[in-house]
Amino acid sequence: MMLARHYNQGAIRIRDIAYEEELPEKFLELILLELKNARMVESVRGAKGGYQLRRAPADIRLSEIIRLIDGPLAPFADAEQLRSLIHRDAQHRALYQVFLDVRDAAARILDSTSLADIANPKEPHKGKAHKNKPDSGVLPMIVHGNPSRSEK
């Protein structure tokens, strides 16, 4: 998020990103390495070195990042596996179809949401599915193994 908010403002040191996003530096290094290998970010050496996005935040979809870091979007299986199960397992076909529908809905939302859409919290996401529901606030992103700053 910080790289998106500071796009075209130069490289940002890992230490600064870790502090701002409340992430352990070692954990962040692993994520940035994966993003670098996927050519989403680049590292800059030197006194003003750090990391920066290679593409505009509007050109990076959340689905790209999640697939890179976590694998398939479905929590149960990828889309092809689910389709195969739907055709093979008649007894559980309806359940697998629900799983596929959940996966497809998540994929549509994540494919239509860019880093630019979420980098500036003042602007609501344009593709918001629940326009008529009252805003319940923003939930914090939870990263496993990352105690919040107040617990340290």
Residue 30 has pLDDT above 80, yes or no: yes
73: helix, strand or coil: coil
Lowest-pLDDT range of 49-53, 77-81, 97-101, 136-140: 136-140
Check whether 135 has a pLDDT greater than 70: no
CA distance 68 to 74: 13
Best CA proximity match to 56, nearest among 125, 119, 128, 127? 119
User: Which stretch of 26-30, 71-75, 94-98, 120-124 has the lowest confidence by average pLDDT?
Assistant: 120-124
- Residue-wise pLDDT for 40-79, tens only, equals 999 999 888 899 999 999 999 999 998 898 877 766 667 8
Q: Measuring CA to CA, which residue among 74, 72, 53 is closest to residue 64?
A: 72
pLDDT at position 58 is 93
Query: Mind listing the domains of the chain with CATH numbers?
Result: 1-58 (1.10.10.10), 61-113 (no CATH)
Report the percent of the chain where pLDDT is more than 90.
49
